[in-house]
Structure 1
Amino acid sequence: MMHYPTKMDDSQAVLNIIGLSKSFGSLQVLDNVSFSVAAGETVCLLGPSGSGKSTLLRCANWLERPDQGRILLKGEQVGVSNAGVVMSDRDLARMRMRIGMVFQHFALWPHLTVLQNVMEAPVHVQRRPKDVVREEAEALLRRVGMYEKRNAFPARLSGGQKQRIGIARALAMKPELLLFDEPTSALDPELVGEVLAVMRDLASEGMTMVVVTHEMAFARDAASRIAFMDRGAIVESAAPDVFFSAPATERARQFLQRYSAASDRSLASS
């Protein structure tokens, strides 16, 4: 049974997650997770597969309904009204407009062109003027290096190009928070760099982001903070230089050693 507290915490964080738990049947995926993200931070969620990273991200915008706990976006509870009642679909959609999400497998509309994909939600969900949205969408496509492909359909794009369109589409909603769920894991290795370059630019510009990733170099260079997850809990949170040079937990040390060994094997075989 979900517990719906009616009193809100007074928090300055853009995202504040408090005591979040989630199970699928008998499998507990998140176990009393609490963490916050300040304005302008890029927090990278690291950890082994199955540690709950993607589920945490999906709960943050109520794509998965948590069993217990609270998610606050600038002090407003996501998914639940001030009266402690589950939000209507309309109210939840309004809340989600404030949280952009970039998915692992792009999730572009195949029947729309690149430009139409970026314009669709601002025009039809936010009800903003089409001419204004078009101008902003074209600027975003230039920003991610995809303006020349504005009239192409997704089937004609590489994976890296599709993911850059996914980022532009999320930015078109002018979100207060941007969530990335392993945005490079479905890409061929040679296409990863072009997506990470866009994400690095966003981080340097102060976009508030939470990124689930296995790209350790990106996490080391672009993150403000690393949150390391294991077995449904955040077991360590530290600045990147501290985490990568002197992790505080044995589980994080093992994780980094395996990553280093895998990188060495990859270099040896190339």
Structure 2
Amino acid sequence: MVDFQQKEAYKFEDLLRIMELLRGPEGCMWDREQDHSSIRRNFIEETYEVCEAIDEQDPEHLKEELGDVLLQVVFHAQMEKEKGVFDIDDVADGICKKLIYRHPHVFGDVEVGSSAEILSNWDALKRKEKHQATDTSALQSVAKSLPSLVRAEKLQKKAAKVGFDWEDAAGAFGKVEEEMDEVRRAMHGDGDPEEEVGDLLFAAVNAARHLKVDPERALEKACEKFIRRFASMERQAKEGDKALADLSLAEMDALWNRAKEQE
């Protein structure tokens, strides 16, 4: 057994110690075997679970999921501490300096009159800080690991800041229609279907942005709606002593339309 004091309540320092012990010679074999790549997906999954807790407006669930994300931060920092590269204090030092630098209207003598002006200053300071000398470098800085809908929206917003954007939603929707035609042509051998579908999705994100709709959130709601209506279809089929697989497509379509009408 490792030397660790059991407590009624623990603090951040205890979490650091626990992780150090878990990665230590008398700790957990699984924890010692991990590296940044092996637990990379865990970080993504835990972050999405925080988002789910936020959507549920459940403080207890949110507290738990924030703890899981904090564990991931501590886990990765401990790995680098063991190699002598950096530790959690260096992580805190970096973010503190970044916040101070990017809030000159709070920690300096810059005056601002609106949140829009604050965001504009933030972007300018970020580009200077990251040595993004060109507009293209600003696009390239958007993480490739982001969900593609989120990444597309961020790319479009950055391009819009230099004026490369539709004047209104009508132009964006015109592009969606154009891309739909190209997908149709690709269906019949005129073009690459994957490329054209990608262009269509990118155009749809742009249209959503002009409507001030979060495309990721919109698609998430559409998925939930699909599940809800599918469940209604299945209930209706069972009321007729049938499984969905026993129905024709036309019959399922009729149940779908009924489920839609009932909402």
TM-score, normalization by structure 1: 0.30
Structure 1 or 2: more helix by fraction = 2
TM-score when normalising by structure 2: 0.31
